């Protein structure tokens, strides 16, 4: 698909991978809308982008999302929805923390909020000539990491859902393509306490632009492709490789 003259919404676009995605789409006649909970961050991000606005919104808040949908529709609709906002809790399953509490918190942001945004924006995306939904997942969608014990399941759920969504839209609204992004460890605030090689968020963002232009629906950035291939051949070896990563915190 084309990556110019589009109206694009990036959740969590004020920082990390989301801000890099917004930068990569900035220009070329694109109109960007970024969201997040921290206004100061969004303001400073928008100042560095071309033709961009921000809407403060917590993706887990029904009121905020209703307002976001209303404002985006009123501003001219939407061509590309990028579900990037996400979180992860690093902890050891036996350290006494509640896996239910952590898992619910992560699921609300990484999974249910994405489903809600897609439910709410599909009618608008249907009106676009050429539209896309891009879900930022993780290499942990395929292979779990024990230091993020309840984060991986949120991304695995999102991968499963995204595949069902792609099949459904192919049959009912073929103007909307579904893309999935599977980054490895990326150099952002989210994983600042993690050891190991980290990919630049700008590389992840450029991969997304390139993939859209080539209609490549599954984007595995950097070392994620190797982990994926290994997982297909030997799930046991892929699991061992994923779990060489250690948190310093
Ligand atoms: N970094 C990695 O190694 C890595 C690897 C694989 C996948 N990912 C995925 O990539 C995505 C981006 O992660 P990142 O590393 O860029 O994280 P980050 O640096 O922590 O940035 C997360 C962004 O999401 C926003 N956000 C968080 N919770 C939100 C909420 N409830 N409502 C609205 N916005 C919210 C944050 O802004 P506010 O706090 O201001 O709301 C921030 O802009 C996530 O889905 C993550 O799971 C990251």
Domain presence at residue 248: no
2 Cα distance to chain centroid: 20
Domain presence at residue 178: yes
Question: In which region does residue 98 sit, left (phi positive, over 0), alpha (psi from -120 to 50) or beta (all else)?
Answer: beta
Whether residue 65 contacts residue 46, with contact meaning beta carbons closer than 8 Å, is answered with: no
Domain presence at residue 2: no
Does the Cβ of 145 fall within 6 Å of ligand 1?
no
Domain ranges, residue 75: 7-242
Domain presence at residue 38: yes
Which CATH number fits the domain that encloses residue 87?
A: 3.40.50.720
Place of tokens 């808040």: 61
Domain presence at residue 226: yes
Q: How far apart are CA 248 and CA 234, in angstroms?
A: 28
Domain presence at residue 247: no
Query: Domain count of the chain?
Result: 1
Domain presence at residue 249: no
Annotated catalytic residue 111: no
| Per-residue confidence in pLDDT tens, the chain, 249 aa | 999 999 999 999 999 999 999 999 999 999 999 999 999 999 999 999 999 999 999 999 999 999 999 999 999 999 999 999 999 999 999 999 999 999 999 999 999 999 999 999 999 999 999 999 999 999 999 999 999 999 999 999 999 999 999 999 999 999 999 999 999 999 999 999 998 899 999 999 999 999 999 999 999 999 999 999 999 999 999 999 999 865 543
Does the Cβ of 188 fall within 6 Å of ligand 1?
yes
Q: Is the dihedral of CA 189, 105, 204, 29 positive or negative?
A: negative
- The H or E element spanning position 245 is none
Pocket test for ligand 1, best of 87, 141, 147, 242 (most atoms within 8 A of CB): 87
Global pTM? Answer: 0.97
Domain presence at residue 215: yes
Number of continuous H segments (helices) and E segments (strands) in the chain: 9, 7
- Closest C-alpha to ligand 1, atom 39: 37
Q: How far apart are CA 14 and CA 28, in angstroms?
A: 20
């Amino acid at each position: 698909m084309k990556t110019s003259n589009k109206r694009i919404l990036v959740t969590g676009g004020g920082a990390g991978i989301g801000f890099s995605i917004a930068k990569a789409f900035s220009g070329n006649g694109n109109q960007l809308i970024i969201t997040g909970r921290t206004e100061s961050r969004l303001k400073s991000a928008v100042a560095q982008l071309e033709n961009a606005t921000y809407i403060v919104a917590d993706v887990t808040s029904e009121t905020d999302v209703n307002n976001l949908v209303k404002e985006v529709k009123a501003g001219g609709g939407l061509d590309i929805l990028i579900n990037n906002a996400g979180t992860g809790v690093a902890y050891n399953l036996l350290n006494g923390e509640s896996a239910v509490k952590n898992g619910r918190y992560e699921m609300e942001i990484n999974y249910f909020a994405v489903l809600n945004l897609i439910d709410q924006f599909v009618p608008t995306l249907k009106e676009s000539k050429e539209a896309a939904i891009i879900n930022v997942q993780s290499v942990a969608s395929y292979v779990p990491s024990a230091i993020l014990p309840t984060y991986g399941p949120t991304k695995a759920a999102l991968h499963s859902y995204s595949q069902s969504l792609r099949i459904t839209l192919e049959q009912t609204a073929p103007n909307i393509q579904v893309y999935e992004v599977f980054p490895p460890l990326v150099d952002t605030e989210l994983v600042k306490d993690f050891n190991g090689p980290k990919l630049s968020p700008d590389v992840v963002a450029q991969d997304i632009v390139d993939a859209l232009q080539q209609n490549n629906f599954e984007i595995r950035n950097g070392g994620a492709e190797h982990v994926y291939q290994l997982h297909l051949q030997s799930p046991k070896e892929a699991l061992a490789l994923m779990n060489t990563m250690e948190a310093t915190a």
